[in-house]
Structure 1
Amino acid sequence: MNSKLIEELTDQMEKDRGWVDEDAYYKMNLLIEEVGELAREVRRRETGRLRPDEDDTVDNRDDLELEVGDVLFSLISVSNHYKISLDRAFLAKLNDLKRRYNSSIPIPGYEEINSNK
């Protein structure tokens, strides 16, 4: 699956569920909530510290995968709201890291992003 398809599927799901009209502030709050849920799942796995309502007999990788998916969906929703391409945003970040740390790692699309500045 490529990032353009992921952007389109996120948009379609939001339209189907009636979420497309939510403002960016609302979507950002959902993203923060989902990041918190991911953090709780990682904490549970890494420290073994449980809340009273958590089951210590279950170590379900699917839970972690779903939390990562929730974060991605919410992040893509915010990105779509502002019409930000995932490819361009990610390549711009890699470009920034490459410049900042003087990296020689070849990055596909690096020249395209670098020439648009």
Structure 2
Amino acid sequence: MNISEHQAWLTDFYKERDWYKLSPFIRLNFLTEEVGEVSQAIRDMEIGRDHPGEAKHTLEYRQNHLHEELGDALDQVLILASKYDIDAQDLLDASERKLKKRFNL
């Protein structure tokens, strides 16, 4: 499945659960929450989580957790893009064009 296909699948998944109707402002809050979870996962990877209420995790667990949280954050971006009729592949292509132009590549 490519990113545009995933975006379409994800949009349908959210619509089936009646989650898609939430406004972009609310969706932005979900993205912010997911970015916070990415931050927590990276902190665990880089410096650990010296918290008495949390068990120590293996490297494999920490990598899987970061993978999951990055995916969750990406999905929130894809849903926001969908709400504005922006195709995910178009986002990737525009980002690449912008960087190539900016850095004369």
TM-score normalized by the length of structure 2: 0.89
Structure showing the higher helix proportion among its residues: 2
1:31 aligned partner: 31
The whole-number CA distance in structure 2 between the counterparts of 1:16 and 1:50 is: 40
Q: 4+ runs of 1 displaced by more than 4 Å? A: none
Task: Please list every run of 5 or more consecutive structure 2 residues that lacks an aligned counterpart in the other structure.
Answer: none
**How far has the Cα of 1:33 moved from its partner?**
0.6
- Structure 1 or 2, whichever has the larger Rg, is 1
Find the partner of 1:97 among 96, 99, 102.
Answer: 99
Aligned to 2:86, the other structure's residue is in SS state coil
What is the Cα deviation at residue 53 of structure 1?
Answer: 3.2
CA deviations 1:7-40 (Å, max 9, x no partner) are 1111111012110110000001100110110111
Q: Distance in 2 between matches of 1:96 and 1:36?
A: 27
Structure 1 gaps of 5+ residues are: 104-117
Q: What residue in structure 1 maps to residue 46 of structure 2?
A: 46
More relative contact order in 1 or in 2 (CA 8 Å, sep 6+)? 2
Aligned pair count?
103
CA positional deviation for 1:72: 1.1
